[in-house]
Amino acid sequence: MFKFSTTVALVVATALPLAASAQTTSTTPAKLSVTASFSILADLTRAVGGDRVDVQTLVGADQDAHVFEPSPLDAKKLLQAKVLVSNGLGFEPWLGKLVKSVSYSGIQAVASKGVKPMEAEGDDHDHDHSHAHGAADPHAWQDPTNVITYVRNISAALSQADPTGAPVYQANSATYITQLRQFDTWAQAQFAALPEAKRRVITSHDAFGYFAKHYKLRFRAPQGISSEAEASAKDVAALVRQIKREKTKAVFFENMSNPKLITQLAAEAGVKVGPALYADALSAPGQPGATYLEMMRYNVNTLVAGMQQN
Ligand code: ZN
């Protein structure tokens, strides 16, 4: 007992001056609690929210949102949030159930709202499309001009939850949108420097439809728009023939996907697999794709280096 009360006394004694100084030096209210469905949205939300937000992530770095299964900890993260930021377009098939299970009543922001969805490619695939995707390709963030819409939607949701912070969110958004446009101009120039015949790539699953359309590249993948889908032997064999025929050297796997399939495919086609591209998740801190802009720059440099060998 004696030991216990000493500890309490110590805690009280050290906590008091802190509380007093916090009161006199700052009038900042508690941070706005936001939960983002996956790592890329968490980064965008931090870019818009800055110091005013505390962001939790459900699907973390190098993890695959297509096949995610929420844990009790994820339910807790959602319950604490005033704002939930999701991608939409069928990217998070597990989210609706999670929202319902905790009776989440906060603001729900769908970051892709207003983006023109692309139809998912791969109608020639004869494997079973059992995943809950519908016809839309969810990977809209791969086109940085779509991310301008994402940022505006996130800014609107944060402003709704925290009207006092609205001017800050607007200013941060403007700064970030400038960075997105600068990145886009740079990326256009990198790809434009490549002869058109070289602008083709093989990856694990169809995550780069928006990217390919925006930068006028050709991507093929053995798996469809969800990494959940099984690639059929027929699809893989066709892709191997195509790689051989076109002498494609730019073959990549993705940071959150199992590299087994693409490694096997590359071995059959007699080509070397390039480094991982960041598709549906950021990298861990300290790795080359720790923020959205870093991941996009890394992908462009990696893709250009690969396509130069085509
Ligand atoms: Zn994906």
| In the chain, where the domains are located | 6-178, 184-307
Instruction: For residue 274, give both structure tokens.
Output: 């390039």
Closest residue by Cα to residue 93 from 229, 239, 266: 229
- How much is the pLDDT for 26? 57
d(CA 212, CA 204): 14
For ligand 1, the distance from its centroid to the CA atom of residue 220, given in whole angstroms, is 14
For ligand 1, the distance from its centroid to the CA atom of residue 186, given in whole angstroms, is 25
Fold match flag (6-178 vs 184-307): yes
For ligand 1, the distance from its centroid to the CA atom of residue 120, given in whole angstroms, is 11
- How much is the pLDDT for 259? 87
Beta carbons within 8 Å of 248's beta carbon, 6+ residues apart:
200, 201, 202, 242, 269, 271, 310
For ligand 1, the distance from its centroid to the CA atom of residue 219, given in whole angstroms, is 14
The tens-digit pLDDT sequence of the chain (310 residues) is 334 444 334 444 444 444 444 444 556 679 999 999 999 999 999 999 999 999 999 999 999 999 999 999 999 999 999 999 999 999 999 999 999 999 999 999 999 999 999 987 654 433 333 444 457 999 999 999 999 999 999 999 999 999 999 999 999 999 999 999 999 999 999 999 999 999 999 998 889 999 999 999 999 888 887 888 788 888 888 889 989 998 999 999 999 888 888 998 899 999 989 999 999 999 999 999 999 999 999 999 999 999 999 9
Superfamily name and number for 184-307:
Nitrogenase molybdenum iron protein domain (3.40.50.1980)
- How much is the pLDDT for 27? 63
CATH number of 6-178: 3.40.50.1980
Q: What is the pTM of this model?
A: 0.86
Cβ–Cβ under 8 Å, residues 307 and 84: no
